[in-house]
Homo-oligomer: A and B are copies of this chain.
Amino acid sequence: MKGFFYPRSATGRSSLIPPPPWHYSGDLLTIEYRTDPKNVAALLPAPLTPADEDPGAVALIWADWQSCGDSKEELLDPIRAQYKEAFVVVRCKFDGRTYSRCVYIWVDKDFALLRGIHQGYPKKLGSIHMTRPHPFGPAPRLAAGAVFGATLAAADRRIADAVITLRGEVEKNGFVNGHPMAHHRWLPAIDGKGDAHVELIESTGAKFEGGKPWIADVESFRLYDVPTEELAGLEVKEIIGGYYRQIGVTWNGGRSLVPSP
């Protein structure tokens, strides 16, 4: 039986996702802020502990992606390559090292959702939109003074939105999402008694290229309190900064930090 994940068949042709490596081109709009560190700590299951420095730092990152496997065929049937996502990253510590960890994430395509199950991202479907830079007409250029908006909704409710104004080029687009990811891969037991699989894994990009990050003023940033989400519980105490960056990345698997017992 062939096929990286579901479905599997004799040929693997209908499998929703090809095997890694997975390649991505995309734009990232990042808002970094501080919440009460106890809000972050409450989202860290053992054996993870809060980061030593700035343990209340949070990044909400919008991303507009084109992605594909090694054949790149998805790029030419772009409904299978293009997706958008918004994800919330905090930092944590394991075995003396600092990790980034995605605590909430929404995507708008099934292949992205299934990749996430593999990678330990807690994915739901959502509706994600970002202003896109363009060289002509009313859309903003990638230049000082350009204004970008980003919105997030799920289950017919607005969850977050932001507006930023680019100020200038900088060296880094934030620090919260700058470490290897430490994620739990969970599979609940089929009899409902606990988990059949519990694994702490580490993964990071296998290849990276990108333009200069832009730092930005955060003109507005709202987290909406909705009954089906808990993002607003990471309430904003202080804005750290806004960022915009265009990148290319490759993801090619990770390694177990704590294998399933």
Contacts and interface: CB of A to CB of B under 8 A. Distances in A.
Given A77-B227, A137-B249, 19 more contacts: A6-B124, A8-B186, A9-B43, A9-B103, A14-B229, A24-B137, A25-B137, A26-B137, A66-B138, A76-B147, A76-B163, A77-B161, A78-B131, A81-B131, A118-B188, A129-B156, A134-B248, A153-B157, A156-B158
Nearest to A159: B156
A255 interface: yes
Number of copies: 4
A130 interface: yes
A36 interface: no
Contacts of A227: 13, 77
B26 A80 contact: no
12 contacts: A1-B45, A9-B42, A14-B104, A77-B155, A78-B132, A80-B228, A118-B187, A153-B156, A153-B157, A190-B255, A191-B256, A197-B260
Interface string A164-200: 0000000000000000000011111011100011010
Interface stretch (A50-58, A92-100, A203-211, A236-244): A203-211
Interface string A52-94: 0000000000000011100010011111111000000000000
B151 A79 contact: yes
A136 B208 CA distance: 9
A134 to B, nearest CB: 4
A230 B9 contact: yes
A147 B249 CA distance: 19
A138 B256 contact: no
A84 B230 CA distance: 27
Nearest to A245: B136
Interface string A107-124: 001100110011101111
A37 interface: no
Nearest to A105: B7
Given A151-B78, A197-B187, A252-B192, A122 B24 contact: no
A144 interface: no
Interface in A130-155: 130-132, 134-140, 147-151, 153, 155
A25 B139 contact: yes
- Which one of A132, A163, A190 has the greatest number of beta carbons of chain B within 10 Å? A190
